Amino acid sequence: MRLEVDRERCVGAGMCVLTAPEVFAQDEEDGRVRLLDRDPAEIGDAVQLCPAAAITANA
């Protein structure tokens, strides 16, 4: 699975970090998502839980 994040769309809610902290982090300056792993084995419900739909996953 290949992940992409749209930092401009991100609202900094942090649901992705709570769901998959090994894959996502929040930027300390602006609170927006930072992608730590583009090809993770598992991301749980992070894509579905993102309130801004800033995360996309492609097979």
pLDDT along the chain (59 residues), means of 10: 95 96 96 96 93 93
Residues paired with 26 in a beta bridge: 33
pLDDT the model gives residue 59: 75
Q: For the whole model, what pTM was predicted?
A: 0.91
* Strand ranges in the chain using DSSP code E only, listed in sequence order: 2-5, 24-26, 33-35, 55-58
Q: Provide the residue range defining the domain that includes 7.
A: 2-58
Number of domains in the chain: 1
- CATH code at position 30: 3.30.70.20
